[in-house]
Structure 1
Amino acid sequence: MERLTRFWLTIRRSGWFTPGAPGSLFPFPFAWQAWAIFAAFIIAIAASVVLHGEAAWLTRIILCVGYIGFGMATYE
């Protein structure tokens, strides 16, 4: 539990992401850490092509919700 708390305190309000353009749902990468996370997100979405059916959709939805949530947690 201590590791999770330490991780949360590290990312919270770190300023890695900024809100996207008006009306944009996805957070915009601002710092180099965010660009690395964004690259990993794109690679994971592309890798989900090998999955079939509902598993592929579920994986993509989880990745998108996780990326959006993580990005919003780092807003300054």
Structure 2
Amino acid sequence: MTRSSLEVEWEDQPDDPGSEDLGYDLDDWEQIRATGTESEKFLYLPDDEEMLREEAFIVAEPTAVADLLDNR
């Protein structure tokens, strides 16, 4: 059985690629705990006000969020 060039290329990729290799731009977001009965929910807002105007935000439960510094 021969491996395709795509399989070989895939296996040659690093296990932990840099964010720039994936096309990601790192950005700072602020974590705000929701008030009321659902105090374990968070709202994440970008520091860049222009992104906020473009409706960039995330609402997440604690189980849906992982600190990337702790979970490498």
- Normalised to the residue count of structure 1, the TM-score between the two structures is 0.28
Bigger relative contact order, structure 1 or 2, given CA contacts below 8 A and separation 6+? 1
Name the structure where helix makes up a greater proportion of residues: 1
Specify the structure having the higher radius of gyration (Cα). 2
Name the structure where strand makes up a greater proportion of residues: 2
- Normalised to the residue count of structure 2, the TM-score between the two structures is 0.29
